[in-house]
Amino acid sequence: MVHRILSTEQHQIRNSEDVVEVRQLVRKKAISLGFGLVDQTKMVTASSELARNTLDYGGGGTASIELVENGRRSGLRVIFEDQGPGIPDVDLALTDGFTSGNGLGLGLGGAKRLADEFEISSKPGAGTRVSILRWK
């Protein structure tokens, strides 16, 4: 999807305090876009899931928070990137309840359900990139 990027802000994900800061930043951006409370919470929660994945499974990485525009619509996109081991079977990972380690799964399926648009690219040895977007 080709969207026009109006602004972008990046944040490191190195530890669990960063995860908190990322979701607070997402909340702030969502509010500035005029998102309703439920839509804000959905983006913040999805971001929390993905940020934690980046930390726990990706060995740390970055979150890029973008205000985007497509014609008359404006939206919020967050892109999570890491240089970790990658996900061998993405489709399987998107299935609910899938567990590769301890815990209730990668939260990918949940994050996908909370967003309007969801993109993931991951290959073993090549890291992972997940993008979620919600339109106002």
Question: 7 with 66: CB under 8 angstroms?
Answer: yes
| Cβ partners under 8 Å of residue 36, min gap 6 | none
The least distance separating another protein from the CB of residue 10, rounded to whole angstroms, comes to: 20
Note every long-range contact of 112-121, with CB atoms under 8 Å and residues 24 or more positions apart, other chains counting: 114/42, 114/43, 114/45, 114/46, 115/42, 115/43, 115/46, 116/75, 117/1, 117/77, 120/87, 120/90, 120/94
The least distance separating another protein from the CB of residue 97, rounded to whole angstroms, comes to: 9
The least distance separating another protein from the CB of residue 36, rounded to whole angstroms, comes to: 8
For another protein, the closer of residues 54 and 126 by Cβ is: 54
Which 69-98 positions form the footprint of another protein (CB under 8 A)?
72, 96
**44 lines the binding site for another protein (CB under 8 A):** yes
**23 lines the binding site for another protein (CB under 8 A):** yes
Q: How far is CA 63 from the centre of its chain?
A: 7
The alpha carbon dihedral of 6, 27, 116, 18 has a sign of positive
**104 lines the binding site for another protein (CB under 8 A):** yes
**101 lines the binding site for another protein (CB under 8 A):** no
The least distance separating another protein from the CB of residue 122, rounded to whole angstroms, comes to: 19
One of 6, 20, 92, 126 touching another protein (CB under 8 A): 20
User: Of 62, 81, 83, 67, which is closest to residue 10 (Cα–Cα)?
Assistant: 62
Residues that bind another protein (CB under 8 A): 16-17, 19-20, 23-24, 27, 37-38, 40-42, 44-45, 48-49, 52, 72, 96, 103-104, 107, 109-110, 113-114
